[in-house]
Structure 1
């Protein structure tokens, strides 16, 4: 553990203007407050904040950050308060400590809820001042270094999993690769102990068998570059054990099949020397195609810059080589923190960490803890590709990202309005996955909404959160529309007319926010007709028996203008289409199920509120299901599909359900405009010599 004078001297070495007295006071304060508290290792508890502060001095951070590191656990674990810290150390330190302070465990909440709430508050604090993140990462790194002292294996696993899923990717996203690699290694040791032992054992074996081979290759690289007149530093190392395991898992290969275990780093004086060194190495050794990446001309989203290539050395040995300037190396290893050596103006979300804005959008859009964790993990994981707008703006996305992900990366409103895409000038489906360097133009329309089906292929947390939020808003709007129509019925049964004041009073009595909230509660069956009547006109239901089953008005409720899948669902059992007589089954917090009046499964709806529905004057398309028995001979399906095309019906699904020579039985889902349209198609099918039988299901 660092002594008091050692910590202060470290700070004064790179920041001679720092307030020595204030640093000393913070050190003494944390020692006094934590007092006799012990860590799982048996060390005094204050050794932890002191070591975290030491990590911050290695990054040459300002005195406010060092003091924050010293005090970051005092509010949670001692009697210290934020007000007291503000009085003693100033408002800036108090704000930072408040952002970093570990949140008390809420035992009544589920594990995901605790993790999500922790993450939510942490990300919000981090977005205001990124020094909160730097201290938190150092705090987590030191806790991981001492994780083995915790006796409870379940707790060790939980902390390791959280580190692997959240904190290591966060470290990567701000370019702190040293922190990321160590966190991954320590978490890997806990999460996969057998794999960790096997890989580290194999690396040790290779080390002993090959002796100084890494040093020999590094010397050969340096010699080749020196002969070309380049002054460089070359270092070599075995690949990170977690990186090896990740590659084994991702590619489904064994340790022996991984041929690029060794990696080498070349540090130069200038960018020009980086490219010159690359040319020299490609001339000296054979380059492996497809493995070259230029992160100097196109940096990663966290500011990382380097040239990556892979070469074949002697005896078909593969090796990775990274080439960068010395300044790049400093920034690459310590990312955002390294910028403090050049500018002491505070770290806030800018171009380098614009992904933080996406995280804040995700916090606003996430509906529950599981969504927040899912979307955030998607947003902070690595493996990126680069795509461009037609005007040349660059966007970085995860591998597997689609045109919809790109649209949301540009702007949420563009994602909402997307109806098509041009990729490299060609019209492509919105689900098309993007490749490095693609130029993407999003085709938009003002008369469209995000589709629920997009959730089946988008990969970014921002897109997933925005789509879910928009779909939920649309669902709420349409459920409220249904509720408004039911409300008119309910009001019609009251003994007297009511006005706006009565509605406002009812909203207050039912403890709802506003009139729209009332309509949503009615549409989603959270309120019964009796409850609404009593709230609108107290005493109006006094003479009604408790089991009174009210009859709806003779006028059916129209679903015209509503979207299937939002406020209501068309039942899969009977596939109603416009023109059918329909009824709706309404259950609390579920969408209205729309059935054909002749549907056999309606007998199961005794627990639901039945609604008499109509399609409205202007019908909208729906899907009808047919069962076809076709003769099993060449050209039969072609003849049937020509009938569909001739009647302007689109096939949305086609399945063979049975085969009895010489017949095949198929179920076909057709997009039709109404019942008459479907009936015409059935008639045309029955008239065809290719069809033995056709009927609607």
Structure 2
């Protein structure tokens, strides 16, 4: 653990004007506040914030960030308060400490809700000051370094999974690759201990047997470039164990089949030398087509710059080579932190926009699962580059579509999109974009986001915006239904009512405003008797029992429909047991049963809406799925095999689209319930024969 004078000397070494007295006070304060608290390792608890502060000094961050690192757990884990921190260390430190402070554990919340609420607070604080992110990443990194001291395997795995899914991608997203790699390695060790042991063992053997080979290849690269007059530094290493394991999983290959385990870094003095070195290497050794990437002319969103290429060394071995300047390498390893330390908070191009996107997702997400899903989409790597017709560059995840592109340009453009051109050619909105595509969005002011877009968009921003728009539309339509029912109820009252009676009714029924009441009426949360009684007390006393909207207590269930009342399952949404369902009843017709999220419900404005539920004896129903199969022999048989293995009977199968290299089928299946149908869709998605599968 760093001693007090060592920490202060580190800060003064790069910032002579730092307030030495305040740094000393912060060190003493955290030691006093944490007192006799111990970590799982048995070390004094204050050793953790001191080590986090030490990590911040390695990044040469300002004194406010160092003090924040020292105090980041005091408000949560001791009797310290934010007001006390502000009085002793100033409002800026207090704000940063409050931003980094983790939410106390709320035992009544699920793991997902706890994670989402923690992430929600973190993202809001990060949007106000990105130094919060830097301290949080260092906090998580040090906790991962001591994770093995925690006795509970379940707790270790939970922390490791959260690190792998949220914090490592966040570190990558802001260009802090050193932090990302170490977090991934430590989490990988906990989540896949057997794979970790196997791969690290193999790498150790390679390092022992072929260490001289790594050195000889590095020397050959350096000599080739030196002979052309270039001054360079060359180093070689084996690839990251987690990176190797992920490649093995993605390609379904063994360790022995991974050919490019060695990677080499070439550092030059200037960008011009980078391109000169690239040309020399390509002339000396054969390059592998499709493996060259120029991140100097087009940097990653996190500011990363460099040239990447893969070579076949001496006609036998694949090696990866990264070429950068010394400055690029420094920025690349510590990303956002390096920009903050050396450029007084200036951010790489794209960082401000990315944080803004995260805040938009935060505002649009409806529940914890949605927030986590959309945020993960926004922070994961693997990007492509696409351009507007005017040449503006946008980076998107692989697999992004014109709809993702439109929302990336502007939320309003995404909402109004009706068509797209890629490189001047009209294409469907679900078409995946490629690197370098020029994308033109065709829009209409009368257009609005479609629920069906969720089947193919891949960015968190697009998904969150679409869901928010669909929810708002559904709410408006339900309110409109409620208003129509309200007018009918008002006509049955003994006298006309005015605005005051309505305002009084809203208060009696404990709704916030008129719209809330109309939504409640439209969704049958309250019946007409309750509304009449709230408007004119006593008016519903003599109302016949059969008259009015069915109440929640008397909601007609499929298992208990009025004898003789006919019903059918809607062909538009094919509800199955496990779906939330609602019935539409029109005069002279039976009841049509729809899934609660069916788009056709918008056409039910002239019908009575009835809450329904499934009979416990219901023995299955017909569900419909859409599957895109690769156009090659045997894929249809493989899909049929998935159905057979999951004991699902095919009622109908129809090819709806033939567009090489895919054929699209719609299939009606007899299934037991929603879980059965979901398992089948998951099995299809896991099949190599199926490009995409979704429930309709």
1:116 aligns with 2:108: no
1:259–1:343 CA distance, 2 compared to 1 (3 A): same
Measure, in 1, the Cα distance between the counterparts of 2:319 and 2:79.
55
What is residue 539 of structure 2 aligned with on the other side? 540
Measure, in 1, the Cα distance between the counterparts of 2:57 and 2:592.
74
Is 2:569–2:592's contact at 8 Å kept on the other side of the alignment?
no
Measure, in 1, the Cα distance between the counterparts of 2:196 and 2:429.
41
Measure, in 2, the Cα distance between the counterparts of 1:593 and 1:144.
58
TM-score, length of structure 2 as denominator length: 0.81
What is residue 549 of structure 1 aligned with on the other side? 546
Matches within 5 A, 1:202-213: 202-213=202-213
The CA deviation string for residues 368-427 of structure 1, in whole angstroms up to 9 with x for no partner, is 000000000000000000000000000000000001000100111111110000000000
1:597 aligns with 2:589: yes
1:588–1:303 CA distance, 2 compared to 1 (3 A): closer
Measure, in 2, the Cα distance between the counterparts of 1:539 and 1:385.
66
1:77 aligns with 2:77: yes
Matches within 5 A, 1:286-305: 286-305=286-305
Is 2:260–2:320's contact at 8 Å kept on the other side of the alignment?
yes
1:271–1:600 CA distance, 2 compared to 1 (3 A): closer
The CA deviation string for residues 18-74 of structure 1, in whole angstroms up to 9 with x for no partner, is 000000000000000000000000000000000000000000000000000000000
1:59 aligns with 2:59: yes
Measure, in 1, the Cα distance between the counterparts of 2:666 and 2:176.
56
Deviation for aligned residue 1:252: 1.1
Is 2:583–2:593's contact at 8 Å kept on the other side of the alignment?
no
Query: What CA RMSD, in Å, does the superposition of the two structures yield over aligned residues?
Result: 2.6
Matches within 5 A, 1:10-89: 10-89=10-89
What is residue 490 of structure 2 aligned with on the other side? 491
Deviation for aligned residue 1:528: 1.1
Q: How many residues align?
A: 588
Measure, in 2, the Cα distance between the counterparts of 1:303 and 1:10.
27
Deviation for aligned residue 1:250: 1.0
1:365–1:349 CA distance, 2 compared to 1 (3 A): farther
Deviation for aligned residue 1:340: 3.0
Measure, in 2, the Cα distance between the counterparts of 1:39 and 1:5.
23
Measure, in 1, the Cα distance between the counterparts of 2:460 and 2:290.
28
Is 2:302–2:348's contact at 8 Å kept on the other side of the alignment?
no
Q: What secondary structure does 1:300 align onto?
A: coil
What is residue 464 of structure 2 aligned with on the other side? 465
Q: What secondary structure does 2:356 align onto?
A: helix
Measure, in 2, the Cα distance between the counterparts of 1:207 and 1:294.
30
Is 1:375–1:461's contact at 8 Å kept on the other side of the alignment?
yes
Matches within 5 A, 1:284-363: 284-314=284-314, 316-344=316-344, 346=345, 351-363=350-362
1:65–1:600 CA distance, 2 compared to 1 (3 A): closer
Measure, in 2, the Cα distance between the counterparts of 1:21 and 1:211.
49
Matches within 5 A, 1:293-442: 293-314=293-314, 316-344=316-344, 346=345, 351-442=350-441
Is 1:26–1:70's contact at 8 Å kept on the other side of the alignment?
yes
Q: What secondary structure does 1:211 align onto?
A: helix
Q: What secondary structure does 1:212 align onto?
A: helix
Is 1:349–1:357's contact at 8 Å kept on the other side of the alignment?
no
Is 1:128–1:348's contact at 8 Å kept on the other side of the alignment?
no
Is 1:22–1:89's contact at 8 Å kept on the other side of the alignment?
yes
Deviation for aligned residue 1:102: 1.5
Deviation for aligned residue 1:614: 4.7
Measure, in 2, the Cα distance between the counterparts of 1:122 and 1:326.
33
Matches within 5 A, 1:167-206: 167-206=167-206
Measure, in 2, the Cα distance between the counterparts of 1:50 and 1:384.
37
Deviation for aligned residue 1:600: 8.9
What is residue 645 of structure 1 aligned with on the other side? none
TM-score, length of structure 1 as denominator length: 0.81
The CA deviation string for residues 141-164 of structure 1, in whole angstroms up to 9 with x for no partner, is 000000000000110010000000
Unmatched segments (≥5 aa) in structure 1 = 553-569, 577-586, 603-610, 616-624, 626-652, 657-665, 670-697
Measure, in 2, the Cα distance between the counterparts of 1:504 and 1:589.
32
Measure, in 1, the Cα distance between the counterparts of 2:654 and 2:399.
29
